[in-house]
Amino acid sequence: MSPMDQALAEARAAAARNEVPVGAVVLGPGGQVLARAGNRTEADADASAHAEMLALREAARRLGTPRLIGCDLVVTLEPCPMCAAALVHFRIRRLVFGAYDPKGGGVEHGPRIFDAPGCLHRPEVVGGVQEAECGALLQVFFQKLRASNSIEIISIKGLSDHGSL
């Protein structure tokens, strides 16, 4: 299973527990999987528990170092500004993401963290990998939510905020 397929599996598992379906995988310098995670903001009562943050922290824990030199992150959705800035702190070598997030993304949209003044490290960025599949997961999730919930909540939150619903 490719890294993005593994990230998609994490995203599907997140959807199954009513979390916004985003999944992430951290690969070590040799391409081995160091960590994988899906969103857990509800499960962990933690608005920062995005898939990327959880996978980055788990990978660093496994390596026993605060930085992930030579490691890559693969994630189904363009990271938000918080996660993009975390990639800088962790010194991630390459970011591969699936769907673009015009509302809440922080790499190609919004504050464009890697291009902002003072950014200390810029990972290589590859966007749009298996974009349709990654985006469809989110679309289906929010369509179901819209059908069962008030539209007001969705319009306040937007697709971008991986947080609680």
18-37 footprint of a second copy as x/- string (CB under 8 A): --------------------
* 161 touches a second copy by CB under 8 A: yes
Q: How many residues are given for the chain?
A: 165
* 12 touches a second copy by CB under 8 A: no
Task: Out of 81, 98, 123, 135, point to the residue binding a second copy (CB under 8 A).
Answer: 81
The whole-angstrom separation of Cα 112 and Cα 117 is: 10
* 63 touches a second copy by CB under 8 A: yes
- Shortest Å, Cβ 162 to a second copy: 8
* 89 touches a second copy by CB under 8 A: yes
Torsion angle in degrees (nearest 10) through CA of 154, 87, 43, 76: 60
DSSP string of 48-64, one letter each residue: T--HHHHHHHHHHHHHT
DSSP string of 61-89, one letter each residue: HHHTSS--TT-EEEEEEPPPHHHHHHHHH
* 104 touches a second copy by CB under 8 A: yes
Structural contact between residues 46 and 77, judged by C-beta atoms closer than 8 angstroms: no
* 122 touches a second copy by CB under 8 A: no
Choose between 4 and 71: whose C-beta lies nearer to a second copy: 71
52 a catalytic residue = yes
| In the block, residue with structure tokens 């490290």 | 121
Q: Which amino acid is at 88?
A: V
- Shortest Å, Cβ 123 to a second copy: 13
Q: Which residues are catalytic?
A: 52
Binding residues for a second copy, rule: CB under 8 A, are: 41-42, 44-49, 53, 56-57, 60-61, 63-68, 80-82, 84-86, 88-91, 103-104, 106, 109-113, 116-120, 157-158, 160-164
